[in-house]
Amino acid sequence: MPAEQFTVVIPVHNEAAFLTTALARLADQLADLEFRLILVENGSTDGTLKIARDLQAAYPWLEVANLEKADYGSAMREGFSMVDSEWAVAFDIDYFSRAFVEELLHHGPNSDIVIASKRDPRTDDHRSLLRQIGTRAFNLLLRALFKSRVTDTHGMKAIRRKVLQDVMPDVVSREDLFDTELILRAERAGYRITEVPAVVENLRPARSSYLARVPRTLVGLFKMRQIL
Ligand SMILES: Nc1nc2c(ncn2[C@@H]2O[C@H](COP(=O)(O)OP(=O)(O)O)[C@@H](O)[C@H]2O)c(=O)[nH]1
Ligand SMILES: [Mg+2]
């Protein structure tokens, strides 16, 4: 796969403190590749959007999109809809790696989706025990509720544009369940999903309360169960 055939999409919300460092790190890791990067900001109150736009002077491959209301899922949808290359690569601003791009270069030709799974036996997960248990519990729920064989729907992933065009219009879940519904729909549609290992290490401390998400996630999953 020629390297220029991928577009990185990173949603950002109130990342003013970290954005500049993170982009320098990403630029360094991907320096020899040709790619496009779309930052999709929404709802920030800390000047993230201005910092993102200012960084465009330093990085010719950087594009910035912006929507009004804070919502991870609608940011991803917006970014994905701007992709015009063969592959879309979804990263978080605090979780990305060159190694994942290498996995994509390797497995991409025989896959429609490549996912870095935190549940892969080869994965080196440095997150807190609470987060690791959360990932495991979420995965068990996906198996039970949707008969899914995918072991992780959050985190780094690459998706062919044709899959996005086919599946994304049907996705109704918002916020962090957007990714999950997208992957489940793609799995149902029979697309080839390859899971790869990763070193899981957030580049900055988590900001949101993990436990606070649990009720919202459960409600979202049961709603999704009604339609899938
Ligand atoms: N555009 C946008 N990005 C978001 C929103 N919430 C989180 N993000 C981004 O999504 C990524 C993951 O967020 P993070 O806080 O690290 O979540 P966690 O590691 O899953 O707990 C980061 O790049 C965030 O800036 C949101 O409401 N809108
Ligand atoms: Mg994070």
Cβ pair 70, 42 in contact under 8 A: yes
Count of C-beta atoms within a 10 Å radius of residue 182: 26
pLDDT tens, residue by residue, 127-138: 999 999 999 999
pLDDT tens, residue by residue, 40-90: 999 999 999 999 999 999 999 999 999 999 999 999 999 999 999 999 999
Q: Does residue 94 line the site of ligand 1, with CB under 6 A?
A: yes
Containing H/E element for 88? strand 87-90
Residue 182 CA, ligand 1 centroid: distance in Å: 17
Which residue range forms the structural domain that includes residue 30? 3-227
Closest CA relative to residue 100, chosen from 5, 195, 193, 190: 195
For residue 38, which phi and psi values (nearest 5 degrees)? -110, 115
What's the structural domain count of the chain?
1
Domain CATH number, residue 122: 3.90.550.10
CA–CA dist 107, 57 (Å, integer): 34
Contacts of 7 (CB under 8 A, 6+ apart): 35, 36, 37, 38, 82, 83, 84, 85, 87, 88, 89
Instruction: Indicate which atom in ligand 1 lies nearest the CA of residue 76.
Output: 1
Q: What pTM does this model have?
A: 0.97
Confidence at residue 134, expressed as pLDDT on a 0 to 100 scale: 95
Q: Are strands 6-12 and 36-42 parallel, antiparallel or unpaired?
A: parallel
Q: Does residue 78 line the site of ligand 1, with CB under 6 A?
A: no
Q: Does residue 74 line the site of ligand 1, with CB under 6 A?
A: no
